[in-house]
Structure 1
């Protein structure tokens, strides 16, 4: 069995073995109970260490793909029964695949529109080293809350890092949070009142829409263009509704992948000043694109800026932050103290260690390089297959695209044939309106199943006579 391991790839060899074996089982429709070649044979035929092959097989056992029989080796496991309880994966933040009656993804399926990096991209060595360092040097971090504002050492590192985006923020103007969603929640419950209205981008971030609904905040839809929010539409909305705030992505917009043009940023801030509107800049995908991209917080210190490390580093650490003026930060800090006591000193210490050592900087450089390559490749495939792409992103995680075949039910059936799960039709609209556009995660779209689906969607479209 040829596993085709690329030793120059950034993906660890063990993970490549896992992917190769799972792909073989899926693509060849290998029957449950089929015995795999022995560990020794697989290692010898592919010039691999037996320990690497063994670890990969054990991972597949843990995932339910393989079964192990003592003294007999590894066998293909039967598929899970329909009565099984939902796995943790079904509840992951920002998957959006269960919100529109889309079938839940299984271990065999590819979630084309998910919101984060594949697990195979995650690198554990630097993170593990930082965790060991913290457990050896900061025992208090294992047991105590962080300070109300957040760990001083982390806020100092954040202040230095923000300068790369031309955002000048003293550490006393930075409040750590338990992820970006926590930061947005603090902003909404502290600075807004039930019944007021705010402007949100459409398409936009579904979890933000859910949060605003939870707090009974009315939403006004602002169309997103490839250069940022539609300024003409924004001017009309401001004159008519006088909203309290605007929530906006600047770089690597979710879901379109577009970034804010400098002239649009200037016009947006001028309108915000004129109508006394708060601007909240959600920049959780900041590190997936060049730091030279325009940030609103770099142009105006009144902008409330939200960041996070969940997408790049670890969703389990749950460390985010908010940057704002002194009076706003004080109010957010007080509400944070009431609602959550304080953040995790341990998680904040781990992140501070990674930032100080330079390990995080090198990590995101590797991620950007890999994403840029995948972005270029997927855009070419979509162009060849006659998909319409929104703005053709220059980097980042997402592409917003519309297939030649626009009947969603037919498209969904076609995707299922290739083991692909599509993004929701309604999740990215504040009003729940259906859309023919799909969010495509380029880190997943380079998978052979996705590439075959893109091409098939063009071949299956209705022919014009």
Structure 2
């Protein structure tokens, strides 16, 4: 069995072995119970260490892809009972394959429109090391509350990291939060009153829309272009309304994958200053793009900037942050104390350790390399299958695309045939309007089911005689 390991890649060898074995099982529809070659044989054939191959197989056992017998042999695991969730409450990522390679149960469908990285992309080694370091050196972190602004060691690391994005932020202007969701909630609670109106991008982030509705905030829709928000449309909105704030996703926009251009950013900030409008910049996908993109907070210190590590590192650690002027940070801190008593000091210490020792920087480099390769491959397939792509992203997690078969019900039926689950056609509109565009998560889109779906949409479209 040839695993095709690239020793020059930033992706760790063990993770490459995991991906290669998973791809072999899924693409070749290997039957449950099939025995893998021995660890020694796999290592010898691919010039690998036996320990690396064994660790990869053990990870696949933990994921339920493989099963182990007698402590030495590995076999393809049988699927869980159809229709049942896995132990962690989520549906398995890969379905059992029926004849022709199609999935035979929707509970196993590939979530093509997912909002984050697949579980198999997650790397546990550096995280586990940081956790052990913290438990050995900072036992207070296991028992004590953090400070109101957040752990000083973490805010010091965040301040340094923000400088790489050309954002100058002293430690006392940074507030840690329980993920970006709490950051946005605190901003809405403290800066907006029920009945006020704000400008949001369309398409945009569904959870933000739900949060604003929860607090009784009215939304004005602002079209997104490949270069950022439509500033001409914003100027029209500002001429007829008095919105209190604008929420904008700068780099690797969710769901279009587009990024803000410098010219659009400058015009947007000029309009905000002219009309006294707050600007809240949501940059949770920042590390998937790096420091080359324009950030509003780098151009104007009055911008409220939100970041998070849930997408890149761990959804369980739940550490995000806000950068804002001192009066706003003080008010956010007060409400944070009242509503949550702060962020887990343990989680903050683990993240601070990963930032300080360079492990996090290397992790996101590997993720960007993998996403870049998958992005190029998926864009090529979409072009060949005559899909329309919004802006053709050059990085990040998402592609916003429209199939040649412009009938959502028909596209959904086709996706189901190939074992693919699509995002809702109304989720990304503040008003719940239907859309023919689909959010495609690049990290899922090289799966054989997704590739077959993309090509199938072109084949199934009506032909003009």
TM-score of the alignment, normalized to the shorter chain, above 0.5: yes
Q: CA deviation at 1:80?
A: 2.9
CA distance in 2 between counterparts of 1:350 and 1:376 reads: 34
Q: What residue is the counterpart of 2:212 in the other structure?
A: 212
CA distance in 2 between counterparts of 1:359 and 1:58 reads: 23
Q: What residue is the counterpart of 1:95 in the other structure?
A: none
What is the CA deviation profile of residues 209-239 of structure 1, one whole-angstrom value per residue up to 9, with x for unaligned ones?
1111121211111111111111121122222
For residues 446-457 of structure 1, what are the structure 2 equivalents within 5 Å? 446-457=446-457
Q: CA deviation at 1:161?
A: 1.6
CA distance in 2 between counterparts of 1:367 and 1:23 reads: 18
Question: CA, structure 1 residues 419+40, in 2 after alignment: closer, same or farther (shift >3 Å)?
Answer: farther
1:462 equivalent in alignment to 2:465: no
Q: Is the 8 A contact 2:14 2:52 kept in 1?
A: yes
What's the secondary structure of 1:165's corresponding residue?
A: coil
CA distance in 2 between counterparts of 1:308 and 1:176 reads: 9
Greater shift, 115-124 or 274-283, is seen at 115-124
Greater shift, 331-340 or 359-368, is seen at 359-368
CA distance in 2 between counterparts of 1:330 and 1:50 reads: 54
For residues 386-397 of structure 1, what are the structure 2 equivalents within 5 Å? 386-397=386-397
Question: CA, structure 1 residues 46+355, in 2 after alignment: closer, same or farther (shift >3 Å)?
Answer: closer
What's the secondary structure of 1:404's corresponding residue?
A: coil
Question: What stretches of structure 2 of length at least 5 have no aligned partner?
Answer: 93-102
Q: Is the 8 A contact 1:105 1:111 kept in 2?
A: no
Q: Is the 8 A contact 1:175 1:322 kept in 2?
A: yes
Q: Is the 8 A contact 1:164 1:291 kept in 2?
A: yes
For residues 192-211 of structure 1, what are the structure 2 equivalents within 5 Å? 192-211=192-211
CA distance in 1 between counterparts of 2:6 and 2:448 reads: 16
Q: CA deviation at 1:273?
A: 1.7
Question: CA, structure 1 residues 403+109, in 2 after alignment: closer, same or farther (shift >3 Å)?
Answer: same
Q: Is the 8 A contact 1:190 1:332 kept in 2?
A: yes
Q: CA deviation at 1:317?
A: 1.6
Q: CA deviation at 1:204?
A: 0.4
Question: CA, structure 1 residues 431+397, in 2 after alignment: closer, same or farther (shift >3 Å)?
Answer: same
Question: CA, structure 1 residues 213+87, in 2 after alignment: closer, same or farther (shift >3 Å)?
Answer: farther
1:260 equivalent in alignment to 2:260: yes
Q: Is the 8 A contact 1:386 1:458 kept in 2?
A: yes
CA distance in 2 between counterparts of 1:196 and 1:458 reads: 45
Q: CA deviation at 1:208?
A: 0.7
Question: What stretches of structure 1 of length at least 5 have no aligned partner?
Answer: 93-102
What TM-score do you get using the length of structure 1 for normalisation?
A: 0.89
What's the secondary structure of 1:457's corresponding residue?
A: helix
Q: Is the 8 A contact 1:154 1:352 kept in 2?
A: yes
CA distance in 1 between counterparts of 2:62 and 2:286 reads: 34
Question: CA, structure 1 residues 292+15, in 2 after alignment: closer, same or farther (shift >3 Å)?
Answer: closer
What TM-score do you get using the length of structure 2 for normalisation?
A: 0.89
Q: CA deviation at 1:144?
A: 0.8
Question: CA, structure 1 residues 317+104, in 2 after alignment: closer, same or farther (shift >3 Å)?
Answer: farther
Q: What residue is the counterpart of 2:445 in the other structure?
A: 445
Q: CA deviation at 1:388?
A: 0.7
Cα RMSD after superposing both structures: 2.7
CA distance in 1 between counterparts of 2:174 and 2:189 reads: 18
CA distance in 1 between counterparts of 2:418 and 2:6 reads: 24
Q: CA deviation at 1:462?
A: 1.5
Q: What residue is the counterpart of 1:280 in the other structure?
A: 280
Question: CA, structure 1 residues 61+165, in 2 after alignment: closer, same or farther (shift >3 Å)?
Answer: closer
CA distance in 1 between counterparts of 2:22 and 2:375 reads: 24
Q: Is the 8 A contact 2:283 2:306 kept in 1?
A: yes
